[in-house]
Amino acid sequence: MFSDQFRRGESDKSKLTGVRSSKIVSTLSDVAWKAFQSVNKRLPEGEAIRPKWAPGPLLKSYERSAPPLGFPRETDSLCPRCVKEVRTAVIDGTTSLESLMNEHPGEIKAQIVEENGQVVMRKTCPKHGLFVDVMATDPAFLERIESLFFGRDFKAAEDSHVHKHGTSNIKFGRGAVLTVDLTNRCNMMCNPCFMDANQVGYVHEPTFEDTKAILDRAVSFKPRRQVIILFSGGEPTISPDYLKAVAYAKKIGFYRILAATNGIRFAEDIEFCKAAKAAGQHGVYLQFDGVGEEKNKHRGVGNLFDVKVRAIENLASVGIKVTLVVTIVNTINNDGIGQIVEFAARNIDKVQTIAFQPVSFTGRDEDVSDELRIKQRYTLSGMTHDLKDQLGGRMQPLRDWYPLSSYSAFTSVMDMLQGADAPWGWSSCNCHPNCGIFTLAVVNKKTGEFSSLFEFFNYEQFMKDVAVITDTARGKKLSYAQLGMAIMRNFDASKAPEGFPISQIINLFKPSSTNANSDRNDRMTSAGQDTTSDNWRVLCVEGMWFQDLFN
């Protein structure tokens, strides 16, 4: 592999840590790339491979479709009041469940428009009147994010036994996360709780056979891509089937198996952490509302921050990866999100990712008053501005954030490089650009100092470069060579933090040779050697916008 070649023979003395030598490598890569492409682009494109896991040949970048984007635009939406009426009628038995699939109850059109410096959604139900909510507090941010959408995945195929929900049917790809709720019980009773756990007056838990059937169906259609299996609830670790469910997901071939957890069980019981790791658990989405007791106390459990810290320690000690999942409620904890990034950077040996999730008014919060909803509504664009302000400008809204789906530009090269016989496609998140965003920060593991990767790595150009590699399809060797050039030519050593070596930017994008089971910070670890190039890790910061009935 090109990156192995690059690092072969690298010793502390010869390492390309200096700005000058890194700059030379980048410049030479740029020259080589341009020379290669001057010929490559003139030749007829190579034929795309047809992997076993896919419904057809790998898509070229220009074959990918996109939903309507930009604003003003019209979109499909729901009346918040009609939906509740229909749901009640289904539960009462006065309306059939099938009506949800066939009759489109509650569906109305919505207009997405810019007004008064915001992007808002307006919709009018003939019965219940006008509803207005905010989608973005910075139109320029939303416009940029939408412009960077890389395109949809394959059309889903052989999936009629799975996707039959009516208008909300999945039509493209398979998503990136399969959430499997194991129970509606919980050992907490928060507000907010998107599931209304513990309060509906009955226990709802699938049998183990039900859970197996859900997982089996998940591997039964194409594209057969790796996805995150997220056991959720309620609190999934309370389910008596939890460890069995993890082991079964592992057995049938998934390897990113996670729990969406409040962390109490993992904090209390190190033996349970070990058992979860042994069963195949890869990571956790750990509920984490802020640094310190104050930012967690609205959950109603004393010493909750101490519990979180203990859970992180226990999980990391057994090798389970930690993602901090932060529900951001405007006026409650949005003023502490920069501190969370700093906390994660200081604990980069234990925390891989932060997933910021602006509150969605579902479950326990669906009946929130209009006044409180407007006060607590929080947008992804607002989040990027708060992070800029709270982190002294280290994360910039219009420079450092990309749609989550843009990463599929990179994974499409990986799909090509692993060949037609691979059993699984790479995980590929093609979510709508209004739905998920991310940025990457490089962190000095010794000092906790961090900088945005995109300050010194031209990710936008990199996406374009990898599209050229997949579209021209020149076979493995030439594709690896081009990928190496693309990574190195987009690295600007003069803007990188002092001491950041070009070899680490290569490790960051270096794939596992056989499949996608490859963690970025494991790749950046130099096999136990305490060298200066091993000072760097990467923190992923994501923003996930979950829709509710109003937006």
When asked if residue 188 is in the footprint of ligand SF4 (CB under 6 A), the reply is yes
| 173 within 8 A of 154, measured Cβ to Cβ | yes
The verdict on 473 binding ligand SF4 (CB under 6 A) reads: no
CB of 205 to ligand SF4, least distance (A): 14
Is residue 263 at the binding interface for ligand SF4, with CB under 6 A as the rule?
no
Give the bridge partners for 181, in sequence order: 232
Is 197 a binder of ligand SF4 (CB under 6 A)?
yes
Distance CA 458, CA 280 (A): 36
Residue type at 379 in one-letter notation: T
Taking the complex as a whole, the smallest distance from the CB of residue 299 to ligand SF4 amounts, in Å, to 6
CB-wise, 183 or 353, nearer to ligand SF4?
Answer: 183
Binder among 189, 214, 316, 398 for ligand SF4 (CB under 6 A): 189
Whose Cβ is closer to ligand SF4: residue 308's or residue 523's? 308
Using rule CB under 6 A, residue 233 touches ligand SF4? yes
DSSP 333-379: TGGGHHHHHHHHHHTTTTEEEEEEEE----GGGTT--HHHHHHH---
Q: Whose CA is closest to 404, among 379, 452, 436?
A: 436
Residue 190 near ligand SF4 by CB under 6 A: yes
What b-and-e string marks burial along 82-112, b requiring 16 or more CB atoms within 10 Å of the CB? bbeebeeebeeeebeeeebeeeebbebebbb
Check residue 409 for interaction with ligand SF4 (CB under 6 A).
no
- What are the backbone dihedrals phi and psi of residue 81, each rounded to the nearest 5 degrees, phi first? -80, -45
Comparing C-alpha atoms, which of 111, 120, 265 is closest to residue 183? 265
- Distances, alpha carbon 344 to alpha carbons 189, 401, 504, 537, in Å: 26, 18, 20, 11
Region of 66-74, 194-202, 436-444, 491-499 interacting with ligand SF4 (CB under 6 A): 194-202
Stretch that binds ligand SF4, among 195-203, 208-216, 402-410, 428-436 (CB under 6 A): 195-203
Work out whether 318 is an interface residue with ligand SF4 (CB under 6 A). no
Instruction: Return the closest-CA partner of residue 484 out of 462, 459, 515.
Output: 462
Least spacing, CB of residue 415 vs ligand SF4, in Å: 35
Q: Report if residue 301 touches ligand SF4, rule: CB under 6 A.
A: no
**How many other C-beta atoms can be found within 10 angstroms of the C-beta atom of residue 521?**
21
The answer to whether 214 contacts ligand SF4 (rule: CB under 6 A) is: no
Of the two residues 360 and 428, which places its CB atom closer to ligand SF4 in the complex? Answer: 360
Question: How near is the Cβ of 326 to ligand SF4 at its closest, in Å?
Answer: 12
Does residue 358 contact residue 380 with C-beta atoms inside 8 Å?
Answer: yes
Taking alpha carbons only, the member of 283, 340, 350 closest to residue 312 is: 350
Question: Under rule CB under 6 A, which residues in 279-298 are in contact with ligand SF4?
Answer: 287
Beta carbons of 403 and 437 less than 8 angstroms apart = yes
- Least distance to ligand SF4 from the beta carbon of 179, Å? 12
Give the whole-angstrom CA distance, residue 114 versus residue 96: 39
CB of 186 to ligand SF4, least distance (A): 3
Q: How far is the CB of 190 from ligand SF4 (least distance, A)?
A: 3
Judged by CB under 6 A, how many residues of this single chain contact ligand SF4? Answer: 13
Token digits of residue 281: 């658990």
32 is a contact residue toward ligand SF4 (CB under 6 A)? no
Residues paired with residue 327 on neighbouring β-strands, in sequence order: 357
**Residue 314 sits in the site that holds ligand SF4 (CB under 6 A):** no
CA-only gyration radius of the chain, Å? 24
User: Residue 191 Cβ, how far from ligand SF4 at the closest point, in Å?
Assistant: 8
134 DSSP β-pair partners: 120
- What amino acid is encoded at 335 in this protein? D
Instruction: Kindly state whether residue 323 participates in binding ligand SF4, applying the rule CB under 6 A.
Output: no
Q: Locate 256 and state its tokens.
A: 């990113």
Among 82, 120, 193, 229, binds ligand SF4 (CB under 6 A): 193
Minimal distance, residue 267 CB to ligand SF4, in Å: 13
- Nearest approach, Cβ of 320 to ligand SF4 (angstroms)? 18
Report residue 122: phi and psi, to 5°.
-120, 135
Examine residue 329 and tell whether it contacts ligand SF4 (CB under 6 A): no
Nearer to ligand SF4, 190 or 387 (CB): 190
Pick from 262, 357, 427, 451 the residue near ligand SF4 by CB under 6 A. Answer: 262
Across the strands, what pairs with 261?
A: 286
Quick check: 267 binds ligand SF4 (CB under 6 A)? no
| β partners of residue 403 | 437
Minimum distance from residue 165 beta carbon to ligand SF4 (Å) = 23
Q: Contact at 8 Å (CB) between 142 and 120?
A: no
Contact status: 234 vs ligand SF4 (CB under 6 A): yes
Relative to beta strand 257-261, strand 283-287 is: parallel
What is the contact surface with ligand SF4 in residues (CB under 6 A)? 186, 188-190, 193, 195, 197-198, 233-235, 262, 287
